[in-house]
Structure 1
Amino acid sequence: MTEEVASVGWDAIDTEMEKLYGEQEPKHYGTYLPYALGGPDPLDGISAYKAETPSPHWHFVTYGFSELYEKESDNTEDSGYGFELTFRLTRGADEEEPPAWVLNLLQNMGRYIFNSGNVFRAGDYLDANGPICLGAETELTALAFVHDPDLAEIETPNGRVQFLQMVGITGDELEAMQTWNTLGVLTAGLSYIPKYLTDLERTSLLKIAAVSEAIQHGAEEEGSNTGLLYVSQLAWEPGKKGWFTKTPSTLQLGAKQAEIIGKLLRGRIRKGNRLRLIGSHIQVVFEPGEKAGCIVEEDEIRIVLNESATVELSLQLLPKESKFEIPSLAGTAFHIVKTNITDNEGNVVQVIG
């Protein structure tokens, strides 16, 4: 005789979904072999419900980021990572099965979080570097995270669980979120994507004049909420002094992120805020100050920018290969290198710069 494992965390999620959808039996996709035993899928399950308002769509919910069974972690406040993911996708009138690509997307998010330990919160975003639905002709190439509008935070026997909804966004919407903030951009366009519905066929919200103007106004008034940016091609080469020549220290940036870094500097430094760039081997901090300069410390490079240096640098940070110095920041050069965008198999599909 085997002892039955209590599924108090799973049951708590089911209870919340029943409040929304009553006795509707969801399409459920479970995992046969647990991830801990070598299975390919980290999530124990994903359910998809048919929702009708504000328009027909699939409402997905995950099971596995929180503690579904017995309490295992020492964190008494949160259950597991403290959240489950949801996703809303427009549904055709004759659709009876949810598209498999969403299940793969959610499992891939699980792999990323389980392997890296990086967790998401409302207001975060993630660049997918390509269509969120592989092979689809869609402008949605990134994801944003918000609280699910229908699922409030719950307390379970294993701790607190929030429901974070992923939202498919375009490249220019991602840039607007970086230069202002995620929730501001989504709120500005909410009437066009009610309940943060993902529609693979939609175009950018920034093509709507009222939304674009609201975002521009918000960014100008409040500046950027992005104080930290992960930069894959970040590098630093110290300068050299010779008898007859002097080589400046050089900061390397990738062409893909150069332009957005320039925009972030305008939105951060001018509001008196710092911007931290994190690479695999180095951290660089841009900070406001009266006199521009560069300070090399043991664990980071600090670059102080005044108003003129901020303007000069931001105008030069463009998505193309280049080397340059700016008059206001003597002794420091910048090198923009090409960025190779690759597919899942490592093949280069796009070169930026």
Structure 2
Amino acid sequence: MTEEENYEAPGWDAIDQAVEKIYGEQQPAHYGTMIPYALGGNDPLDGISVYKSEQPIAHWHFVTYGFSELYEKESDNVEVSGYGFELTFRLARDIAEEEPPAWALNLLQNMGRYVFSSGNVFRAGDYLDANGPICLDADTQLTALAFIEDLELATMDTANGQVQFLQMIGITADELEAVQTWNTRGLLEACQSYMPYYITDLERASMVTIQEVQDAIEQGIKQDGSSTGYLYNEQLAWSSSETKSAILTIGAKQANIIKKTLNGRLLKNKSLILVGQQAQITLNIGDIPVIEESEEGVEITLHHAALEELNTILEPKEKTVSLSTFKSLEIHIIPTSIKDQDGNILETIG
């Protein structure tokens, strides 16, 4: 290989070199993309390499190629390569397994589709509700994802800018709730001795059932409140008029988590922003209840009596309630339908 050929893909080479420090001469299973995404291909990532690791338990270690700039520098930001990260994923492996499961490769490509289509990037501490099992064909409690720095792959500088290795971790619904009402790092640190290297195991039970983890969550929420500044609710809507109470509409699925996060934010004098396709609502705590509307969205200031009343109203149940403590505000909770990838309704909440 000539020197010119060697540097045709400096970003790719940098990833290879980082992983080689862990796995040496091990040849990974590599899954490349036949037709580039830019030319109409289905898979946005150029490739995914999968290594066999035996420590601390047998598992597959997936590493993506494509969120960062693998070839020439194209973006204007000289400090960051592409989106600034590559994803990794550690999945428990049976000793007899010879090939990594296809569903995990598809999951990583789906993460690529999400980022490439939305422009939203993942950062350490982020989380994502999958609204169903992360492996559709498995009987698993893991229905959400958390993101944290890979414990073995450090952030690196490349010719195209900095790249961080973010590990994707499968978590349960009640672990997701703990993340939302407290924070991702706190929960993962509390679980680390029970989840070495944050290896995803489809068969595991929720860590929240462990007393030590429960205690850490309760103490963390009490001490820190919630680090969740934004909650996305697809069904979020807002309507107002001069003659009637304003109506805040939310989906039943998120009623409980909005209640818990509100307490974790507002009682620590922090705002909570609800974001949907049709509205953006900022909730604050103050002495006088007031609603302010602008081009940027709606800002609602609750006093403590209104917050307490909301705590009794917000539940995953269809209802319309006018607040007695906030005469100009009405809460409308509507059913949420959980659908599979084909749009079929699996469950209706509320």
Alpha-carbon distance, 1:196 to partner:
0.6
Q: Secondary structure at the match of 1:145?
A: strand
Distance 1:231 1:8 in 2: 40
- Alignment match, 1:284: 281
Alpha-carbon distance, 1:82 to partner:
0.6
Distance 2:322 2:241 in 1: 13
Q: Is the 8 A contact 1:26 1:49 kept in 2?
A: yes
- Alignment match, 1:313: 310
- Alignment match, 2:239: 237
1:176 counterpart letter in structure 2: A
2:264 counterpart letter in structure 1: G
Alignment map for 1:250-261 (pairs within 5 Å): 250-261=247-258
- Alignment match, 1:244: none
Distance 1:315 1:269 in 2: 16
The ranges of structure 1 where at least 4 consecutive aligned residues each deviate by more than 6 angstroms after the TM superposition are 2-5
Distance 2:198 2:43 in 1: 26
- Alignment match, 2:294: 297
Q: Is the 8 A contact 1:266 1:311 kept in 2?
A: no
- Alignment match, 1:275: 272
Distance 1:174 1:79 in 2: 30
Distance 1:121 1:314 in 2: 31
Alpha-carbon distance, 1:5 to partner:
7.1
Distance 2:64 2:6 in 1: 22
Q: Secondary structure at the match of 1:349?
A: strand
Equivalent residue for 1:80, pick from 71, 78, 82: 82
Alpha-carbon distance, 1:229 to partner:
1.3
Structure 1 length-normalised TM: 0.96
1:188 counterpart letter in structure 2: A
- Alignment match, 1:266: 263
Structure 1 window deviating more from structure 2 (230-239 vs 26-35): it is 230-239
Distance 2:311 2:124 in 1: 29
Q: Which runs of 5+ in 2 are unaligned?
A: none
The Cα offsets for residues 91-120 of structure 1, whole Å up to 9 and x where unpaired, read as 001011111110000011111111110100
- Alignment match, 1:101: 103
Please provide the CA RMSD for this pair: 1.3
Alpha-carbon distance, 1:3 to partner:
7.9
Equivalent residue for 1:325, pick from 319, 322, 326: 322
Q: Secondary structure at the match of 2:326?
A: coil
Q: Secondary structure at the match of 2:22?
A: helix
- Alignment match, 1:335: 332
Alignment map for 1:76-225 (pairs within 5 Å): 76-225=78-227
Alpha-carbon distance, 1:230 to partner:
1.4
Distance 2:97 2:88 in 1: 19
Alpha-carbon distance, 1:179 to partner:
0.3
The Cα offsets for residues 109-163 of structure 1, whole Å up to 9 and x where unpaired, read as 1111111101000000000000000121000000000000000000001110000
Structure 1 window deviating more from structure 2 (225-234 vs 163-172): it is 225-234
Distance 1:133 1:165 in 2: 17
Q: Which runs of 5+ in 1 are unaligned?
A: 242-246
Distance 1:74 1:299 in 2: 28
